[in-house]
Structures are given as structure tokens and as C-alpha cells.
Structure 1
């Protein structure tokens, strides 16, 4: 079922992407303001860390539940609720009189962001088809790097400008009018669809899934900084039986005709089944690129601004890759993420060669081509993998699929620093050689991308979206590959 006005759905998408942009900026902008927050509130180091970690965990733990609630109560309802809640939490964070209130506000921000963000992919899945769906996914893919680049820049500007004497508080207050405008605009522009998923909430399932995800994410986020203690591995092992119990409960609910949190039928389709591990490997490998920023700042003494400018070609590549490639996604199928991964392999190899050849003499100009290729590959690979997996979900399960895929992204991004980052820091601890440590990390990223490229052969050449309600079972149709 489509929005009656073609222009209206693009306006609605723009409003939804504004909220995604705001979430990305907020996630990045806080890092810049942490020193100011520490001075003003006399915040201890552990509190500063949890201002970032608390948001990340709350966001990741809410995504699947937020997506499924969108299926149950309507994606417009959940988006407006999430955006309005994000605005209120931002206001509370900006007005926080002390560390405790600020920490709670950051966690609440993460929860409402987890309700808000999955509705965007759900909207793309349910309201666009064919080339328009590829184009919409391309815009979605562009939003993240632009937000990631804008975050540090806006953080520096707002903190230094000291608008109205707010200083660091301005980074939270700026969210309020944007979020309120997005909520009101979405309430008017998004279609009022009748919820397609029926059934009561699975509170036990929510708790089981949250506990399992927390048991995986918390060690990944904190483990390396704590020296990988035994409890980190025990927690991750404990997640296995919790996930088993969760899967058994979802299967039982589906047999009884009750609404499962994650329809297990989602995982029966070939595209979704293989796209999930490929995405985990893909996002884990991306940590090598962020290690490069550590090399530029720690090894070469680049300022944050100079580092951001050196990484600018990646943003250009991501925008170009999404803008040119994604409208062709329905025709190219698995060929598009494979081409994106080939570009990533080329960019990673050229980055390693540049680091080894130029060492301490490395300049942003020498990084421009490999960083551009890396960005183009990232843009094509990330968006096309998401689109291939999402295409198999029935519209009644679009929110559950969106939440699941966004959670996979968060898991991959948490696993990256825990694996590729460990390669970097362990080698750096030996003799402080940034060049060798960076080279090893880039090699690790190259290996992960190579595995992901080969795994893409398991995806169907093309897949057609499921057309039936999957509360009782999905009808997934594939063209064999």
C-alpha cells in the first residue's frame, strides 16, 4: 500500500532522515564536549565513559523492540513518540544540574532513539518499491556519514561559541527544536497505516532478548579497556542459552498464533539468513578505518580538524556510491554489495601501502584516493546489504526486520574495536610503532572484507519481497543463485 502522493512520501522520508541525522550528530557531538562537561560538573572519568556507553547500550537494546512495536501500533505512532521523547530527554540533558541527571538523560535518549530509528527502514520497506526503494535506501545510507562528519564540527562550534552562556549544554538543547519539528512534520506527512501485526506484547521475550544482547554488547564495549577479564568471556558464553530460550519462546508463540518479537520465519529466507553474518563481518572490518584516525592523531599529531578533513573524501565516496549505485540495486542484486566490497578491499590495500611507504611523512593528499575508494565501497556495501535483507520481510514484519538489522549493525560496530582494535593496541604496546600497528589493523580489516566478499556468493542473485503476512509464516520467493 503506497502513500497517495509521491511527493508526500519523499517529504516524509526527509523528515525521518532528519531524525536519523540528529541521532548520528548527537552520538558524535558528545565526545567533543566531554572535557567541558568534566570541568563544569566535576564528573569522574567513569561517568564520562558511561555518558557514551549508556547511550550506546540503551539504543542497541531497544532497536528490535522498537521496530516490533512499530509493526504493532503503527510506524508513524512510534516515530512520533520516539522523536518527542528524544526531544524531552535532550532538554533534560541540557538542563542537568549534575552528573546523575545527565547520565539518566543520556540513557533515556538512547531508549527513545531506539524507538525512533527502526521506523525509518520500515517506512522505506513499506512505502517504496523498485528503483525508488533503492534511491530511498541510498539517501538513508548518506545520512550516517554526513551526520558522523557534522557531529564533531558542530560540537566544536557550539561548545566554543557558548551560545546564551549555555557552553556544552547547547549540544543537547539544539536537538529540541529539530526533534519537535520532525515529530510534528512526521505526524502530518507520514501515512496513517492500520497496524498489520496483531497480538499482545511479549514482555518475557523482551527481557530475555535484552539480557542476551547486554551479555554480548557490554563485554565488547568494555572488555578491551578492562584487559579482557574472565567475566567478559563468561557473559558472552551466557548469552548463548539466553538466546536459545528466546528462540524457543518465539517459536512457541508463533505456533499458538501469538505475535512473536522476532518472527523466526524472517530467518528462513536465504537473503536474510546470510546477510546477517555478512553484515556482522562487514561492520567489524570497518574498525580498521577508525584505527587510521588513531594513527593520524596519535602517530602523526594531526589535530581533530585536520583528521576530519583527511577523512572528507570518504564522505564524498559514500554519497557518490549511494547516489549512483543504489537506484540500480533491484537490478544488480548481490552484485552491488560485492562491488562495494571490492572497492573496500582496494581502498584498504592502498591505505596500508600508503602508511608503509610514507610513514611519518604521510599527508592528506596521499590518503585522498584510497579514502575515497573506501568510502564508495562502504556506501555501496552497507546500504545494498541492508536492502537485500529487508526485501524479504513482509510489510507486517518490516519493523521487526528493521530492528533486527539495526541491532546487527550495532553488534558489528561493537565487535570491530574489540577485534581489529585489539590488534592495533596489542601491537602498539610492544614498541609504540604506530606504522606497524596500523598496518596490522588494516590487514585484519582486509581479511574480514575478503571473507564477506566470498560469503556474498551465498546470497540469492536477486530476491523478491515477501508478500504475505508472516505472523504465521513467511512466503519468501527467490530466484535461485
Structure 2
């Protein structure tokens, strides 16, 4: 144990911690909204800026990719330089990049703004959990993390609806731009409140940032995702295949470097020994598949509703409400009733429910032929119904998955493992959006999607089979998780509890 004094005493909880919690939760809510708010505005953005299909994919997927690549690094920077300091830097950067996105006159500027916005979110969001961890005593953390989960679910629910309302209202004749500009007053208020209310903290044993690991991981993933996004539109030139092939040795070099750092007592970006545990490796695979499925589905679904069915942004936003509501219901049911009684089988039931939702969507799309037969006269219930089993299924899995994955992880690696789990999901979403180039736009064919509305039902139906396959594969991989959550006996000893009070673990 280090002899240095803690950055501040955990024996005297910060009296302002509940007000500070509101500040950091608003920041987390802003990120959850911005992940989904753009989907509803895609047709308006494309019509206004003339963005190409690949640019539209990058406007949605670029945020997720830069966010995923920066999550672990953002957490480490908070440990090194101060969590409050990095949080406020992230809030300021997120606000400025939102302004860039809102004022963008070309798709190139909007794309650059979205990528930068994702990078700023990667600085801001990891500090939320870290600040909660070091600000609240152990007895209060369960309640606080429950509130955090509810806020994130609410953000997912609010994103499409907020985007639809702002586009529909056309405030100050700005069309889609208020979906970004609304962040400006929230960001300014967050900066002032955060500076006044949040107490600073650092990791006691934080080491140097693994810059080489960051560079290698970023390069390898970009070499994989870029050709997937650009390849179809460019006719799959030779460089796309070379890039995807070259990504493998770069990522292999990243793994070799991380092992080298571990052997020599360094601070690797990724703790590779975690993957030797079957439950952890399997859980990360499930997270990746869920990210892939959602990345493919939400982009295709949004274009299908608005361009294929002729839904207004508001009607499309309302169509998505059952999904988020069902996710919240499934999460509560899973954590409170099903997982305590059935363990892993509750999650597997959720995967099968999600598959059922996709199959029901496919039946509706094939037999109703919404776009050509019914057009805008389609009832909302016909687009909402398949989302209920899908949302319930996703809620049954997402809520308890982290707990089950971490149940076999040593306590000293819990922070790093949590960061990896978040990163895997975000990376999966980014790759899923990139794969839409093949599984959705490939079915749609060449040309502007708005001019090919007649082909959208077939393209959407084709993409659903990929999503259903991803959920089915998640069902199989869930067998790698333990049947029940197991807590190590060492985690509940008085000595361990006292040590935890004195030595907060940094969250990556």
C-alpha cells in the first residue's frame, strides 16, 4: 500500500456530492442523446448539405468510432491529470464541437465536427463513473449507479424524439441544426456548475499513458473500418482490400506491444490477461455483437421509415419509443427478478426475444410492402410492435451483462475491465454502421436513397437477417458466462472493505 495520502479523504463524504451528481449525469445524458439524435435528422442533413452515402455513414459512425477509441485513454487521462480537470475539458470540447456541427455548411465540416465531438465525449464520459466512484461512499454507490443507468436509458429514449421535435419545429428556420446547437447553453451551464461543485481527484498509482498502444489500436481499427465504409461507393479499389488485410498485422503488433509492456512492468492500454478468462472474453464478444447489430439496424431503420414509408421526423421518432421503453422495462425485470432466479438463462432468453423481434419486423416488411402499398397511411402500431420484443430482449441482456462478465475478474482489474466493456460496445456500433455499406446500401443499389424508395423495403428486410444472426450468435456466446454472478470471498472481507475506503481504484 502506498504511503502517500489520498488526494482527499473518503471518510468524510463531500457534502455537495448530490448536486455534483446532477452535473455529471447531465453530461452523460447529453452524450446518450447525441448518439441517437442524428439518426432522425439524416434525410434533412443529406438534403441540405448534399452529403454522399459514405459521408452519411461517417456522420453517424464517426462519432461512435472516435468515442470508442478514446474511452480507455480518456479514463487514464483523468487518473493522471485529475478527473475534474479532464471532465471540464471534455465538456468544453463537446460544447465547441457541437457549435461546429450546428454551423457546418458542408458535409466535410459536419463530419469533422462529429468525429471531434466523439473524441470530446470520450474525455467527458469516463470521468462521470470515476467521479461517482471517488465521491460517494460504498454504501451509496449502488443507489447512484442505479440512477446513472436510468439516466442513460432515458437519454437513449429521448434522443430520437428530441431530434424529431427539433427538426419538426424548424426553430429560427435552422432546420436540423438545433439538434447540435441545443448543447451550447447546457454546456455553458455544465462548465460553471462543474467548476464550482465537483471536487478534484486523481489516481494514486496512475502511470504513464500508453501512447504507442493508443497509436497502434487507432491505426489498426481505422484500417479496418475505413474501407468498409468507403469501399462500395468507390467500387472496391485495391487499396480497400490492402487496408483491411494490413489491419491484421497492425492489431497483432498492438497485442505484442501490450504484452511487452506487461512483462516489463509498464502500464498497458489493455490488460490482456483478462481475456484468458472465458467469461470475460465471451462477454466482450456479446457486447461486440450487440454493437454490430444496433449499428446496422438503426441506420437502416431510420432511412426506411422516413424515405421508404414517408414518415415525418416526428412520426419516425415516436415509432422508436417502444424500443427504449421496453429496454428500460426489460432491464428492471432482469436485474430485480429474472437474473436472481435464473442467472445466465435470463440473458439467453433476451437474445431469443431480440431475434423474434427481427423476424417479426421481416414479416411485416415483406408482406405489408409498406412503401409501395400503404405509404404514409401505415399505422404507428405496425412499426412499433416488432420493437417491443427486441427492446425487452436487449434490456434483459444489457443490464446484467457487465455484472456477470466482471464476476470472474480480479478486483484490481475491475476498472480496466469496465472500460474495455464500454469500448467494445461503442466499437461494435461504429463497425456496424460501416457494415451497413454492404448489408443495407448493397441491397439498395447505386444512387440517392431518396430516389430509390421502392427498393428500401427489400434493403431493410435484407439487413434484418444480419441483425437476427448477430443476436442468435450472442445467444450461443452467452454460454461462456457463469451461470450465476459469483463474488470473490476476498471482496467482502473487512480488510478488503477498509482497504477500498482508503485506496480508490482508478477507473479506465
With the shorter chain as reference, the TM-score category is 0.7 to 0.9
Is 1:230 the counterpart of 2:238? The answer is yes
| Secondary structure, aligned partner of 2:234 | coil
Q: Which residue of 1 aligns with 2:449?
A: none
Residue of structure 2 aligned with 1:241, choices 240, 246, 249: 249
Give the conservation status (yes or no) of the 8 Å contact 1:311–1:371: yes
**Partner residue, 1:388:** 404
Provide the residue aligned with 2:3 in structure 1. none
In the other structure, the counterpart of 2:487 is 464
Output one character per residue of 1:407-437: Cα deviation in whole Å (capped at 9) or x when no partner. Answer: 3223322333444663344444499554444
1:452 is aligned, of 468, 474, 497, to 474
Q: 1:33 to 1:354 in 2, by over 3 A?
A: closer
Structure-2 residue corresponding to 1:363 = 379
Kept in 2: contact 1:38–1:48 (CA 8 A):
no
User: Residue 415 of structure 1 corresponds to which residue in structure 2?
Assistant: 431
Query: How far apart, in 1, do the equivalents of 2:456 and 2:109 lie?
Result: 39
For residue 211 of structure 1, report the CA deviation from its aligned partner: 0.9
Deviation at 1:320, TM superposition (A): 1.9
Residue in structure 2 matching 1:208, options 198, 216, 219: 216
What is the SS of the residue equivalent to 1:464?
coil
Superposition deviation, residue 3 in structure 1: 8.8
Change (3 A) 1:92 1:399: farther
C-alpha spacing 1:426/1:54, structure 2 compared with 1 (3 Å): closer
Write the distance in 2 (CA, Å) between the matches of 1:189 and 1:82.
Answer: 16
Q: Which residue of 2 aligns with 1:475?
A: none
**Matches for 1:15-34 after TM superposition, within 5 Å:** 15-29=23-37
Q: Residues 94 and 170 of structure 1 are in contact (CA less than 8 Å); yes or no, is this contact kept in structure 2?
A: yes
Residues 89-123 of structure 1 show CA distances to partners (whole Å, capped at 9, x for unaligned) of: 33455567988776654443222111112334556
Q: Deviation at 1:82?
A: 1.2
Q: Note closer, same or farther for the CA distance 1:124–1:440 as it changes in structure 2 (3 Å cut).
A: farther
The more displaced of 168-177 and 325-334 is: 325-334
**Does 2:280 match 1:272?**
yes
Q: What SS does structure 2 have at the residue aligned with 1:322?
A: helix
In 2, distance between residues paired with 1:225 and 1:356?
27
8 Å CA contact 2:84, 2:198 repeated in 1: yes
The one of 302, 311, 320 aligned to 2:311: 302
State the number of aligned residues: 465
Gaps of 5+ in 1: 470-481
Q: Which secondary structure does the structure 2 equivalent of 1:301 belong to?
A: coil
Instruction: Give the Cα separation in 1 of the matches to 2:464 and 2:34.
Output: 28
Between 267-276 and 67-76, report the one with greater CA deviation: 67-76
1:226 Cα deviation (Å)? 3.4
Separation in 2, partners of 1:190, 1:79 = 10
**Alpha-carbon distance in structure 2 between the residues aligned to 1:458 and 1:421:** 31
How do residues 78-477 of structure 1 correspond to structure 2 at under 5 angstroms?
Answer: 78-91=86-99, 93-94=101-102, 105-122=113-130, 132=143, 135-136=146-147, 138-139=149-150, 141-157=152-168, 160-162=170-172, 170-186=178-194, 192-286=200-294, 287-288=296-297, 290-327=299-336, 331=340, 333-360=343-370, 361=374, 363-389=379-405, 400-419=416-435, 422-429=438-445, 433-461=455-483, 462-464=485-487
Distance across 2 between alignment mates of 1:317 and 1:328? 16
RMSD (Å), alpha carbons: 4.0
Q: CA deviation at 1:56?
A: 4.3
Instruction: Give the conservation status (yes or no) of the 8 Å contact 1:205–1:246.
Output: yes
Change in CA separation of 1:151 and 1:39 when aligned onto 2, cut-off 3 Å: same
Counterparts in 2 of 1:74 and 1:265: CA distance versus 1, 3 Å: farther
Q: 1:231 offset after TM fit, Å?
A: 2.5
- 2:278 and 2:15 map into 1 onto residues whose CA distance is 34
2:6 aligned partner? none
Residues 61-112 of structure 1: per-residue CA shift (max 9 Å, x gap): 3222112223434444432321122223334555679887766544432221
* Residues 441, 88 of structure 1: alpha-carbon distance in 2 compared, 3 angstrom cutoff: closer
Conserved in 2, the CA contact under 8 Å of 1:359 and 1:435? yes
Alpha-carbon distance between aligned partners in 1 of 2:10 and 2:409, rounded to the nearest angstrom:
16
Q: Is the 8 A contact 1:344 1:378 kept in 2?
A: yes
